Amino acid sequence: MFPTHRPRRLRRTPAVRRLVAETSVAPRQLVLPMFVKEGVSAPVPIASMPGVVQHDLDSLRRAAVEAVEAGVGGLMLFGVPAVRDAVGSAGTDPDGILNRALTAVAAEVGDATVLMADCCLDEFTDHGHCGLLAADGSVDNDATLTAYRELAVAQARAGAQVVGPSGMMDGQVAAIREALDEAAFADTAILAYSAKYTSAFYGPFRDAVESQLSGDRRTYQQDPANAREALREVTLDLAEGADAVMIKPAMSYLDVVRQVAEIADVPVAAYQISGEYSMIEAAAAQGWLDRRSAVLETLTSIRRAGADIVLTYWAVEAARWLRED
């Protein structure tokens, strides 16, 4: 008896495998997160994220051009201010580091890529939370919405084509959409961090933005145990006018990415976060796995799960590999 079915026929050669591949990754689907630090004159390496830096404005502009030349689809900017306060005023200040960076990158690359801004207060507050604090120390949801409105308009005015509210405040998309429309930024899109989970894998990112957080964000970020709740959050954001939705982290939540992709009628993004990046870099540095193969496999898995857009710190390098292939 010989096998009647031989699936291996479709794996025989690289050409056959390319022909029948069900999932692909293209440079245009990748977004590069970038950090820009106030008060420095050269890039500052981030020890817990090998290969990633806090840029100064000049190096940020150069890196943006490099990303465009590699074919990367977008850039997501995060600011690291020199001075923080309780209300995150550096975020709305036109001379704040993130807004100056948005203006600089917009002038450098124009419409050659999609310029995005993280629309959250955590980088700018002296307590490290994503919102304003009430007298009892809790995060005041509705007061924070007012702050987000001002933050989003400031970022759009500085040059952001897309704002990414990541604070997981109830009603944040509706509040930001209304504010942008009232300020004549109706064309500025919202990439909603709709399902952002409390995760142990954020550690290196907090080094990158020099987070002042003490405690945790469990009262507003999602419980890792919950998937149906993510669908509720996504449904609410869609109803409030989100132009795209995001799941964060990506690799530990591929089931959520799949479920969201099945219900969303807008593009779905997933963020391959700092800890996911750093653990692969650490294993590769030890020679425990092949770095290039591991990176491309993880990106393919995120796309296979249903993500149309992947935020990844490997965006430029992966884009070059993909173009070579």
What is the set of active-site residues?
196, 248
HSE-CB of 178 using CA atoms within 13 angstroms = 10
CB atoms within 10 A of CB 62: 13
Which structure tokens are listed for 238? 């869609």
What does the alpha-carbon distance between residue 139 and residue 168 come to, in Å, rounded to a whole number? 11
Burial 166-191 (b: 16+ CB within 10 A, else e): bbbbeebbbbbbebbeebebeebbbb
Task: Pick the closest to residue 127 from 220, 216, 214 (CA basis).
Answer: 214
β-strand partners of 164? 118
The values of phi and psi at residue 31, to 5°, are -120, 135
CB atoms within 10 A of CB 206: 16
Task: Pick the closest to residue 168 from 124, 127, 131 (CA basis).
Answer: 131
Which structure tokens are listed for 102? 């948005």
Determine the number of helices (DSSP H) and then strands (DSSP E) in the chain: 11, 10
β-strand partners of 80? 37
Question: Helices 141-158 and 97-109, interaxial angle, to 10°?
Answer: 40
In order of 11, 48, 138, 211, 215, the CA distances from 218 in angstroms are: 46, 23, 11, 16, 9
